[in-house]
Amino acid sequence: MNILVTGANGQLGTCLRNSSAGSADNYIFTDVTELDITDAEAVSRMVKNNDINLIVNCAAYTNVDKAEDDADFAELLNAKAVRNLAEAMKAADGTLIHISTDYVFGKEPYNIPCREDQRGTPTGVYGETKLHGEQAIAQSGVKALIFRTAWLYSEYGKNFVKTMLGLTSSKPELKVVFDQVGTPTYAQDLADVIYNLVEYRTYEGNEGIYHYSNEGVCSWYDFTKMIAEIAGNTDCDIQPCHSDEFPSKVRRPSYSVLDKTKIKDTFKIRIPYWTDSLKTCIKNLKEE
Burial class (CB in 10 A: 0-12, 13-18, 19+), 166: exposed
Query: Which residues, 6+ apart, have CB-to-CB distance to 274 below 8 Å?
Result: 183, 184, 186, 213, 214, 215, 216, 218
Q: What does the pLDDT read at residue 174?
A: 97
**Higher pLDDT among residues 43 and 250, named by residue:** 43
Helix (H, G, I), strand (E, B) or coil at 248: coil
Q: What is the pLDDT of residues 221-264, one digit of tens each?
A: 999 999 999 999 999 999 999 999 988 888 888 999 999 999 99
Of 61, 103, 126, 255, the catalytic one is 126
Domain that holds residue 64: 2-156+183-215+257-272
Q: What does the pLDDT read at residue 204?
A: 97
Is 167 a member of any domain? Answer: no
Amino acid at residue number 57: N
Domain count, the chain: 1
Is 196 a member of any domain? Answer: yes
Is 15 a member of any domain? Answer: yes
Full-prediction pTM beyond 0.75? Answer: yes
Q: What does the pLDDT read at residue 69?
A: 95
Helix (H, G, I), strand (E, B) or coil at 280: helix
Is 137 a member of any domain? Answer: yes
Indicate the pLDDT class of residue 68, thresholds 50, 70 and 90. Answer: very high
With a pLDDT cut of 70, the percent of the chain lying above it is: 100
Query: Which residues, 6+ apart, have CB-to-CB distance to 118 below 8 Å?
Result: 105
pLDDT mean over 94-104: 97
Indicate the pLDDT class of residue 108, thresholds 50, 70 and 90. Answer: confident
Q: What does the pLDDT read at residue 247?
A: 82
Burial class (CB in 10 A: 0-12, 13-18, 19+), 160: middle
- The rounded Cα 240 to chain-centroid distance in angstroms is 26
Bridge pairing between strands 185-186 and 152-153? parallel
Is 146 a member of any domain? Answer: yes
Look up 255 and say whether it is catalytic: no
pLDDT mean over 28-36: 97
pLDDT mean over 259-270: 98
Task: Give, for 224, the enclosing helix (H) or strand (E).
Answer: helix 220-231
Q: Is the pLDDT of residue 168 over 90?
A: yes
**Average model confidence (pLDDT) across the chain:** 96
Q: What is the pLDDT of residues 137-163, one digit of tens each?
A: 999 999 999 999 999 999 999 999 999
Q: Is the pLDDT of residue 111 over 90?
A: no
CATH number of 34's domain: 3.40.50.720
Nearest to residue 158, comparing CAs of 11, 9, 5?
11
Is 18 a member of any domain? Answer: yes
Q: What does the pLDDT read at residue 107?
A: 82
Is 224 a member of any domain? Answer: no
Is 231 a member of any domain? Answer: no
Q: What does the pLDDT read at residue 110?
A: 76
